[in-house]
Copies of this chain bind each other. A is one copy, B any other.
Amino acid sequence: MMEQPVGARRASIGARRNPASEKAILDAAAAILAEGGLSGFSIEAVARRARAGKPTIYRWWPNRTALLLDVYHRSKHVIPDPDTGTLEGDARMFLTNLLDFWNDPANGTVFRSIIAEAQSNADAMAALQAYLDDRHAYLAGIIDRARARGEVRADLDSTALGEWLVSFAWHRLLTDRIETSPAEIETVIKTFAAGAAPTSK
């Protein structure tokens, strides 16, 4: 599994969730998204379908984007955790899996729309930032493992390194060029791993 389940991951945000209700709400939200796309996705529609109260949903997800991000994130659970034993291998696996995941429009389109929405909606931006804080901590963990193996120079910050690695994937997604060539991936991965290494100048 790529990381902790959604409930555990977001436990620090908002009230404690009832696992069965949470699952019903996320299932309803995912079904609405699959059937009608983003335009039909609202807290109201999810509440109706999940037979949950809107206050319950708002207690756990402060806005539509926060709920959308959890639905999006949950569909990522099939992505294996990269643990190949080298930073270059982990980075290659991470980037390749992320781009593959986004290559399915059901995933890529949702994430693009969240980013777009966040550019003019402060609530959406807050939800996106909370999600990314979590993702960046996860990536920093991969880099910390490499650091423990002696693959990362002491003066380089794990969070900044991880953020930079994922930025390339964002750029591809947001410029509609998600079908990245293996050579392009290799340029990024090799430069990244060699640049982070203590043996570099």
Contact = CB atoms under 8 A, between A and B. Distances in A.
A154 to B, nearest CB: 12
Given A129-B175, A190-B195, A194-B195, A164 B160 contact: no
Contacts of A188: 160, 164
A116 B201 CA distance: 39
A13 interface: no
A120 interface: yes
Q: Is the interface of A mostly helix, strand, loop or mixed?
A: helix
Interface stretch (A2-10, A17-25, A52-60, A165-173): A165-173
A64 interface: no
27 contacts: A112-B119, A113-B120, A115-B116, A115-B119, A116-B120, A118-B175, A118-B176, A119-B174, A125-B175, A125-B176, A129-B177, A132-B175, A155-B190, A157-B183, A157-B187, A160-B187, A160-B188, A163-B168, A164-B168, A164-B188, A167-B168, A191-B192, A194-B201, A197-B201, A199-B200, A199-B201, A200-B200
A71 interface: no
Given A120-B113, A193-B195, A195-B196, A174 B184 contact: no
Contact of A200 (B155, B163, B195): B195
A184 B167 contact: no
A119 B191 CA distance: 29
Nearest to A195: B195
A138 to B, nearest CB: 16
A112 B120 CA distance: 9
A106 interface: no
A66 B192 CA distance: 34
Contacts of A112: 119
